[in-house]
Copies of this chain bind each other. A is one copy, B any other.
Amino acid sequence: MKKRELDSCPICHNLNIDDEESFLDDLKCAFRYYEKNDTIVLQGQLCDALYVLTIGKVRAETVSENGAIINVEIVEAPRPLAPAFLFSDNNRFPVNIIALDDVEVIVIPKSEIVRLMMTNPDFMQNYLAHNANRTQFLTSRLQLLSIKTIKGKLAHYLLEMARNTDRPFVVDKNQSELAELFSVARPSLARSLSEMVQDGVIQIHRREFRILDLNKMKNLLV
């Protein structure tokens, strides 16, 4: 099995843990090990401890009531699993979590997390920052999805990438990836792109884009 790299975990970095072993010894926690396809957490399960994925890779999936899988996210160690739900009023896991590898998970009771925060300001700020970043991610995702038209989403995305310049810029995704990000069909995305080119709003050469008409572009947002 691989080795732990605790320091690159978003809630554990910069904690000045000189001795990982003794740090973990002091912590009241449990180590759990799973093999590929083991279920680590069941959707709906009570969440009264922090699950930290320290080794391996897992799949987090939302399952609808007829068993269809709605949403999938792959998470790689080291990262806490659903750290926000530990403190929410409805503290149940929103997803199934399945091992994709050999996996180590450290389970830390909520009371220990509270103790850690109270005694270790860095840990507390890490925890807060991580949750805050997650909120920010969700907010911007929501903002993107609440734009209804494909051209609108493109305008939002491309204006972000262009950073208010009219210089050409290169995007790091191909059309299929963009289509997935926007959750639209790939040919529909291609159609919207070529219409925007026809209308003289943008220029495209492979992955290099250039905004030709900033005003038209911004009007697509509404």
Q: Give a binary string over A181-205; 1 marks a CB under 8 Å from any B CB, 0 the rest.
A: 0010000000000000000000000
Q: Which residues of the other chain, B, contact A86 by a CB distance below 8 angstroms?
A: 132
Query: Complex Cα distance A135/B141, Å?
Result: 13
Contact between A132 and B133, CB atoms less than 8 A apart: no
Contacts of A145 in B (CB 8 A): 142, 145-146
Would you call A70 an interface residue if the criterion is a C-beta within 8 Å of the partner chain's C-beta atoms? yes
Given contacts A66-B221, A221-B66, A222-B66, contact A87 B141 (CB under 8 A): no
| CB of A96, distance to nearest CB on chain B (Å) | 14
CB pair A124 B114 closer than 8 Å = yes
Q: Which residues from chain B contact A90 at a C-beta distance below 8 Å?
A: 133, 136
**Do B133 and A135 touch across chains, with their CB atoms under 8 A apart?**
no
Residues of B within 8 A of A88 (CB): 129, 132-133, 135-136
Residues of A within 8 A of B (CB): 62, 64-66, 68, 70-71, 84-90, 94, 114, 117-118, 121, 124-125, 127-129, 131-136, 138-139, 141-143, 145-146, 148, 159, 183, 215, 218-219, 221-222
